[in-house]
């Protein structure tokens, strides 16, 4: 279990990836505690003066002008959580919930939210005991914060709703008791501070970003293997070509492809062949996947900023309590939409290379990568599956952020749809992991036809790993399990280390 202290230092992508991958032991520093206490004192000062503060002693949304009596302020915060915990859909996985909770701790610990240290410490306690609230994945429009999903997270703090502990479902009340934690009785401002914020959409998008890194590493290896399988040229990956265009991602992808192919006997066997140019899916890998890498880097930076942001409302400063709109998740929605393009294009290019490999006129390999084609259909059907998945991902890549819809009786009249924008990335990643898995299987089959000539050491090692899940295809059999297992291998990050030098969170 990783130890992580929340202090005045920003969380890095490495921190965030580590918390996504494994449980964490979380604490807050003395500096953070003093900032939390100072902001709490400011809220108490405003209340003592008889001032009116949105969500502290008023209703919410369109009801902001309704003053709530002092003796009902605590009740107001609990009502907020109970009324807003109405999310639907499949529950978010524990690793994403853990990220959500971390991001909420980070936001509250900066001292602009007016909560007590007790609230933040109890949230840390849930994380440290691996008590993960059951948070439905749907129901947020990504403005005024991720209200419904965060209400389910907040419910666990006050002992309502369900949680998972070691994969076991139980009530929050029982989990708190088993861990020796007491349900929090919310004080003024605390329910609102918990519910306002972009932590759910940001956590879902971060998880998708880390999965995209795994995918991109596998796609680069698959592309290099496909290049060798069709006896393609590495000349288009020459550094001079990339340098005169100037895009960093293109340069880095080309360099990685050169490294992956270095030492290939297959490449050495056709240095003087009469083929002039390879198809774009081989030749333009630096240009296409380099652009995808640039997108991934940009998105990672946006989400790293958002992971460290204070996004509830109102915000507590030394001299004022100000209402604003930091809860509007437009930056996250834009980032997720941008990443969707990258994921779709990785899949599109990979599918084209699969189509190239199974076409004997273009690849020089046996039709559909099998001896005795005709009697055997070989890899015919998996290419069709890849085409179906690529087309589905193109539809899912449609931007979510342009689809605003008014809520809360038109008080909240423009929203980001960031939570859906982030959620759909995971469906796309499932699709494209399968496409790249099919390419890895196809390229491995193609390279096997060239043996005893060998590919590079790195690519032969990748081929051997694939063969642990999928023996060489000799005659027709179902490749369903092979595809699923290699897809899971991609998603696990097995290939990440091979290309980590160019990926953002490495």
Residues carrying an active site annotation: 54
Residue 459 CB partners (closer than 8 Å, separation 6+):
221, 224, 225, 228, 260, 261, 264, 447
DSSP bridge pairs for 322: 315
| Measured distance CA(239)–CA(271) in Å, rounded | 18
Phi, psi of 356 (to 5 degrees): -65, -45
* Residue 223, both tokens: 């592309």
Among positive and negative, which fits the CA dihedral 408, 103, 175, 93?
positive
| Measured distance CA(25)–CA(238) in Å, rounded | 46
Cβ count near 405 (within 10 Å):
10
Token pair 């009469």 is found at: 274
CB-based contact 215:343 (threshold 8 Å): yes
Side-chain half-sphere CA neighbours of 102 within 13 A: 37
Q: For residue 494, count CB atoms less than 10 angstroms from its CB and return exposed for 0-12, middle for 13-18, buried for 19 or more.
A: middle
| Measured distance CA(82)–CA(99) in Å, rounded | 23
Q: Percentages helix, strand, coil for the chain, rounded to the nearest 5?
A: 60, 10, 35
Q: Which ranges constitute the DSSP H helices of 230-329?
A: 239-243, 248-261, 265-268, 280-283, 285-307
* Residue 291, both tokens: 């652009």
* Residue 37, both tokens: 């206490």
Q: For residue 1, count CB atoms less than 10 angstroms from its CB and return exposed for 0-12, middle for 13-18, buried for 19 or more.
A: exposed
**What CA dihedral angle connects 340, 414, 104 and 427, to 10 degrees?**
-30
DSSP bridge pairs for 136: 91
Q: Which of 353, 390, 341 is nearest to 257 (CA)?
A: 353
| Measured distance CA(138)–CA(420) in Å, rounded | 7
Q: End-to-end CA distance of the chain: give it in Å, rounded.
A: 19
164 three-class SS: strand
CB-based contact 390:347 (threshold 8 Å): yes
431 three-class SS: helix
């Amino acid at each position: 279990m990783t130890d992580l202290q929340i202090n005045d230092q920003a969380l890095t992508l490495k921190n965030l990836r580590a918390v996504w991958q494994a449980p964490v032991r979380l604490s807050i520093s003395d500096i953070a505690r003093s900032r939390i206490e100072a902001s709490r004192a400011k809220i108490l000062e405003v209340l003592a003066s008889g001032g009116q503060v949105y969500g502290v002693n008023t209703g919410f949304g369109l009801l902001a002008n309704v003053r709530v009596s002092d003796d009902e302020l605590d009740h107001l915060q609990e009502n907020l959580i109970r009324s807003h915990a109405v999310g639907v859909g499949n529950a978010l996985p524990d690793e994403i919930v853990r990220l959500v909770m971390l991001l909420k701790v980070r936001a509250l610990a900066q001292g602009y939210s007016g909560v007590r240290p007790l609230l933040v410490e109890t949230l840390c306690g849930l994380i440290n005991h691996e008590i993960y609230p059951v948070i439905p994945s749907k129901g947020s429009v990504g403005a005024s914060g991720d209200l419904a999903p965060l209400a389910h997270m907040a419910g666990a703090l006050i002992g309502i709703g369900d949680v998972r502990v070691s994969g076991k479902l139980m009530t929050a009340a029982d989990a708190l008791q088993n861990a020796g934690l007491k349900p929090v009785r919310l004080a003024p401002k605390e329910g609102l501070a918990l519910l306002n914020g972009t932590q759910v959409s940001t956590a879902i998008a971060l998880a998708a970003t880390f999965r995209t890194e795994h995918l991109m590493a596998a796609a680069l290896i698959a592309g290099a293997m496909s290049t060798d399988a069709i006896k393609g040229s590495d000349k288009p990956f020459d550094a001079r070509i990339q340098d005169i265009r100037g895009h960093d991602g293109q340069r880095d992808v080309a360099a990685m492809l050169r490294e992956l192919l270095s030492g290939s006997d297959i490449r050495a066997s056709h240095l003087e062949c009469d083929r002039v140019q390879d198809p774009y899916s081989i030749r333009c890998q630096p240009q296409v996947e380099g652009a995808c890498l640039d997108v991934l880097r940009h998105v990672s930076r946006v989400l790293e900023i958002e992971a460290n942001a204070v996004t509830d409302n109102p915000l507590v400063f030394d001299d004022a309590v100000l209402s604003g709109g930091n809860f509007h998740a437009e930056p996250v929605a834009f980032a997720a939409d941008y990443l969707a393009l990258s994921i779709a294009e990785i899949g599109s290019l990979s599918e084209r290379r699969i189509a190239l490999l199974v076409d004997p006129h273009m690849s020089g390999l046996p039709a559909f990568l099998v001896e005795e084609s005709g009697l055997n259909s070989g890899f015919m059907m998996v290419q069709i599956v890849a085409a179906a998945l690529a087309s589905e991902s193109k539809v899912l890549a449609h931007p979510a952020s342009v689809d605003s819809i008014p809520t809360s009786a038109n008080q909240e009249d423009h929203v980001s749809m960031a939570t859906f924008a982030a959620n759909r990335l995971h469906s796309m990643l499932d699709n494209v992991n399968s496409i790249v898995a099919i390419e890895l299987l196809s390229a491995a089959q193609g390279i096997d036809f060239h043996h005893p000539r060998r590919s590079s050491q790195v690519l032969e090692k990748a081929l051997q790993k694939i063969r642990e899940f999928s023996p060489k295809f000799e005659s027709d059999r179902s490749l369903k399990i092979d595809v699923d297992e290699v897809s899971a291998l991609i998603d696990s990050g097995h290939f990440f280390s091979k290309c980590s030098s160019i990926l953002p969170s490495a």
